[in-house]
């Protein structure tokens, strides 16, 4: 492993730790508001999956910014999520 690869690996780990530390701000996890242990486990599982997806988006956007030198830092995870929220499903029928 080269020094550059080790640094990239460490930066990725640091970003992951910051995501977990920032759980409350990213996912609105101010209180659990659950009635059972099963609900708590399910809520934590869903939040964990959401953090994994957010971290993957962060990594992909970072890689894209490295390739796109003309418009560096034009997209971050919240902006990307906002763009994805604009997607709508349209169902076409044959009227048969």
The residue written with tokens 């709508």 in the block is 88
Residue 89: inside a domain, yes or no?
Answer: no
Task: Name the domain count of the chain.
Answer: 1
The residue written with tokens 């957010």 in the block is 54
pLDDT of residue 40: 82
- pTM comes to 0.57
Q: CA 85, CA 13: separation in Å to the nearest integer? A: 28
Q: CA 86, CA 89: separation in Å to the nearest integer? A: 10
- Could you read off the pLDDT of 56-78 as tens digits, one per residue? 888 888 888 888 777 656 678 88
CA dist 11 → 15, 26, 52 (Å): 6, 19, 16
- Say if CB 61 and CB 82 are below 8 A apart: no
HSE, CB side, 13 Å, CA atoms: give it for residue 22: 12
Regions of the chain where pLDDT drops below 50: none
Q: CA 77, CA 64: separation in Å to the nearest integer? A: 12
Domain limits at 74? Answer: 3-84
The residue written with tokens 């990213």 in the block is 26
Residue 25: inside a domain, yes or no?
Answer: yes
pLDDT of residue 86: 93
């Amino acid at each position: 492993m080269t020094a550059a690869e080790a640094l990239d690996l460490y930066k990725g780990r640091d970003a992951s730790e910051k995501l977990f530390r920032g759980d409350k701000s990213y996912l609105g996890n101010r209180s659990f508001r659950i009635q059972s242990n099963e609900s708590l486990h399910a809520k934590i599982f869903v939040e964990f999956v959401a953090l994994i997806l957010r971290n993957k988006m962060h990594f992909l956007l970072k890689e894209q910014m490295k390739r796109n030198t003309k418009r560096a830092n034009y997209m971050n995870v919240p902006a990307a999520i906002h763009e994805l929220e604009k997607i709508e499903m349209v169902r076409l029928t044959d009227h048969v």
